[in-house]
């Protein structure tokens, strides 16, 4: 191994990743989590929360386009969008690409993280925080949803995995998803960042799918390979009405054009449709899980 500074990520007790560091930009703790912003030799500028990689300059567009645009395309013309989490501002950036969007509310519990991302990672938000359609709320998303009566066309859950003692544990449960269902307008859509989708570490992904199926009439898990995560990554789309796999490619092309999304860096119309095709091992894993509840929360360990 070459000399120099290395950053180690313990993905689980069985799997360790090492990153060669070119520049240590920031390291410190907020009220909620450890925050490290590094320039890595391969991935470029990268964000780690609690020493787990969240976003890297080389491919953040893969993750954020995959999280945001399937929901936008499935809905067709969302005007009001709620983002849960998303402190870097890239999810907000992608939401605002849609010409139909008139209001985008981002709720993140960690205001210090948001400020750090604005300061050290402005490429991620690309001016989204200053867009007049944007509203940033620093609050616990659990309490925000519990106490709000506002309804949205699209809700995007861009949260960290539920670590023990972390702020996300209650935001992946059947109870919480039932609240989100009630905060969606007729025809509304929810997309959820759902963790790794590899053959070994996929239990969280399929558990989120099982939980959403307790609440929504249409649930479609999908995936993308995220280079900086070192594995395929899972997402879930839950809809009140529209089933995305029933859309023809010509209709997807038409919606992308009408929404003014422009030329995306990752997602294409054919990739949008094919991303809902999952391997046999994921389908097998789906048979073995129970929904996530507040009484039986999912805690990411391995």
- Nearest 5°: the CA angle 73, 98, 265 is 75
Residue 219 has pLDDT above 70, yes or no: yes
Residue 3 has pLDDT above 80, yes or no: no
Nearest to 40 by CA among 60, 25, 50: 25
Nearest to 68 by CA among 99, 104, 94, 100: 94
Burial code (b: 16+ CB inside 10 Å, e: under 16) for 71-89 equals bbbbbbebbbbbbbbbbbb
Residues of the chain with CATH 2.30.140.10: 6-55
Please report which confidence band the pLDDT of residue 157 belongs to, taking 50, 70 and 90 as the band edges. Answer: very high
Residue 165 has pLDDT above 80, yes or no: no
Strands (E), the chain: 6-12, 15-29, 34-40, 44-49, 52-56, 80-85, 103-108, 134-138, 152-158, 184-196, 218-226, 231-239
Residues of the chain with CATH 3.40.50.150: 60-288
Contact assessment for residue 98 and residue 260, using Cβ atoms and an 8 Å cutoff: yes
Instruction: Check residue 2 and give its pLDDT.
Output: 59
Please report which confidence band the pLDDT of residue 17 belongs to, taking 50, 70 and 90 as the band edges. Answer: very high
Is residue 130 part of the annotated active site? The answer reads no
**What whole-number distance in Å separates Cα of residue 302 and Cα of residue 290?**
17
Instruction: Check residue 164 and give its pLDDT.
Output: 81
**What whole-number distance in Å separates Cα of residue 221 and Cα of residue 236?**
4
Q: How many CB atoms lie within 10 A of CB 59?
A: 19
Q: Which two tokens stand for residue 166?
A: 């972390």
Alpha helices in 121-161 (DSSP H): 122-125, 141-147
Instruction: Check residue 167 and give its pLDDT.
Output: 80
Place of tokens 């609690």: 50
**What whole-number distance in Å separates Cα of residue 291 and Cα of residue 302?**
18
Instruction: Check residue 209 and give its pLDDT.
Output: 98
Place of tokens 């520049």: 23
Sheet strands side by side (includes 134-138): 134-138, 103-108, 80-85, 152-158, 184-196, 231-239, 218-226
pTM: 0.96
CATH of 6-55, one of 3.30.930.10, 2.30.140.10, 3.40.1210.10, 1.10.287.3510: 2.30.140.10
Instruction: Check residue 1 and give its pLDDT.
Output: 52
* 74-92 pLDDT, tens digit each: 999 999 999 999 999 999 9
Name the least confident of 1-5, 112-116, 153-157, 202-206: 1-5
In sequence order, what are the residues at sequence separation of 6 or more whose Cβ sits closer than 8 angstroms to the Cβ of residue 277?
none
- Helix 203-213 and helix 174-182: axis angle, to 10°? 50
Question: What does the chain come to in residues?
Answer: 302
Average pLDDT over residues 24-47: 97
* 248-300 pLDDT, tens digit each: 999 999 999 999 999 999 999 999 999 999 999 999 999 989 999 999 998 87
Of the listed 108, 110, 158, 198, which one is catalytic?
158
* 44-85 pLDDT, tens digit each: 999 999 999 999 999 999 999 999 999 999 999 999 999 999
Is it true that domain 60-288 has CATH number 3.90.1150.10? no
Alpha helices in the chain (DSSP H): 60-75, 90-95, 111-120, 122-125, 141-147, 174-182, 203-213, 249-259, 269-274, 280-285
């Amino acid at each position: 191994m070459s000399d120099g500074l290395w950053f180690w990520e313990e993905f689980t007790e069985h799997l360790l990743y090492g990153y060669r560091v070119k520049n240590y930009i920031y390291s410190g703790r907020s009220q909620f989590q450890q925050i490290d912003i590094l320039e890595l030799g391969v991935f470029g500028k990268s964000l780690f929360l609690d020493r787990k990689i969240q976003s890297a300059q080389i491919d953040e567009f893969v993750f954020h386009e995959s999280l945001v645009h399937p929901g936008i395309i499935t809905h067709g013309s969302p005007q009001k969008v709620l983002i849960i989490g998303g402190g870097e501002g890239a999810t907000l950036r992608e939401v605002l690409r849609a010409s139909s969007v008139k209001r985008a509310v981002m709720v993140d519990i960690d205001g210090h993280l948001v400020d750090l991302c604005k300061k050290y990672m402005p490429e991620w938000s690309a001016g989204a925080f200053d867009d007049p359609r944007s509203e940033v709320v620093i609050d616990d998303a659990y309490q925000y949803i519990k106490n709000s009566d506002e309804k949205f066309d699209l809700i995007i859950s861009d949260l960290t995995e539920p670590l023990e003692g972390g702020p996300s544990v209650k935001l992946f449960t059947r109870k919480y998803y039932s609240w989100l269902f009630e905060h969606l307008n007729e025809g509304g859509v929810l997309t959820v960042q759902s963790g790794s989708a590899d053959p070994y570490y996929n239990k969280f992904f399929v558990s989120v799918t099982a939980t959403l199926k307790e609440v929504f009439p249409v649930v479609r898990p999908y995936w993308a390979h995220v280079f900086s995560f070192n594995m395929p990554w899972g997402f879930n789309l839950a809809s009140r009405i529209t089933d995305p796999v029933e859309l023809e490619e010509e209709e997807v092309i038409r919606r992308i054009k009408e929404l003014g999304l422009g030329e995306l860096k990752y997602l294409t119309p054919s990739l949008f449709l094919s991303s809902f095709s999952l391997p046999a091992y994921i389908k097998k894993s789906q048979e073995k899980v129970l929904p996530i509840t507040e009484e039986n929360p999912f805690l990411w360990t391995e």
